[in-house]
Structure 1
Amino acid sequence: MSGIDESLLEAMRLPGARGASLVDWISGLALGTVGEAPGEDAEAAAAQAAELARHAAESGILAPARGAPATDKEPPVEDLIVTTADSYHLLRFVSTPFDSTVFLHLWLDRADGNLALARIRLAELAERLVLG
């Protein structure tokens, strides 16, 4: 079990990591940040990533197709990957004992990052993350 700061620091140990944050996708507020922020403004980056996460989470198309609706404790989407010319943005939704409205945002340099490894490690971090 890890806290916010420990989890974000661990995410920054991934090859190519430029920045990491934990964001509430309802309010758009960063609950923790470390490293660089896209656009050099952590609050703006959190708000914009939250908007993307909120659209995905509330989308009928991207919602669970297994027949059962997502519960309040389980986010409706596992992760999102946005690829730009020079970077990857990985948003990993976090299951929580309360309302699951947070996600981890990892910003990776495309030349140095390993997207598959980052996805696996971020999933592990999300499982161990303790909020409270």
Structure 2
Amino acid sequence: MPGIDACLHEAMSLPGARGAAIVDWTSGLALGTAGESPNGDYEATAAETAELARAAAEFTAFAPAPVPGRPAARGGRDGHSVHGATGPAGGGGPTDSGDPDKGPPVEDLIVTTRTGYHIVSFVDTTFDSSVFLHLWLDRDRGNLALARLRLRQLAERLVLE
């Protein structure tokens, strides 16, 4: 079970990794960073990726429709139900209690640019989860599929204290 530093070190060992961060998506603050930052400013990058993560986790366009017989959580910005997530208004994060029936509405995000990939992988924690891993991957040297799978594994093993 790696902590923040070990998790970032493992993420940076992936082929083509240029930068990695663990970010609190509620505050937009980086809990830890490694490697480069796409815009040269780790805190600005953390705040910008947190906005993206919040939008994906809160807006109903990205969340699956509620399943009949399964309660839907509230908290989307527009006041509509978002299955398995509550936004800042609800106090929770993009994931729920770890129950497979209450999983995250969004597992991860991939943003493709002309020179790289940005992968955001939500971390499920024992407390109100509001943390994600962000990996910046070089498009020519990186393996997107491998990075996505390894980042998901890191997110599952990450220990936050």
TM bin (shorter chain): over 0.9
Write out aligned runs for 1:1-132 (5 A): 1-65=1-65, 67=67, 68=70, 69-70=83-84, 72-73=96-97, 74-132=103-161
Structure 2: gaps spanning 5 or more residues: 71-82, 86-95, 98-102
Runs of 4 or more consecutive aligned structure 1 residues displaced over 2 Å after TM superposition:
71-76
Distance 2:139 2:55 in 1: 25
> Matches of 1:44 and 1:61 in 2, distance apart?
26
Q: Distance in 1 between matches of 2:65 and 2:9?
A: 34
- Distance in 1 of aligned mates of 2:66 and 2:35: 37
The structure showing larger relative contact order (alpha-carbon pairs under 8 Å, at least 6 residues apart) is: 1
Kindly tell me the number of residue pairs found equivalent between the two proteins. 132
Alignment deviations for residues 3-59 of structure 1 (CA, whole Å, 9 cap, x no partner) = 011001000000000000000111000000000011010000000000000000101
**Amino acid across the alignment from 1:3:** G
2:124 aligned partner, one-letter code: S
2 CA distance for matches of 1:75 and 1:45?
Answer: 23
Distance (whole Å) between structure 1 residues aligned to residue 8 and residue 156 of structure 2:
13
5+ residue gaps, structure 1: none
How far did 1:76 drift? 2.6
Return the letter of the residue paired with 1:80.
L
1:54 aligned partner, one-letter code: R
Q: TM-score, normalised on structure 1?
A: 0.95
- Structure 1 stretch 115-124 or stretch 62-71: which is displaced more? 62-71
**Structure ranking higher in helix proportion:** 1
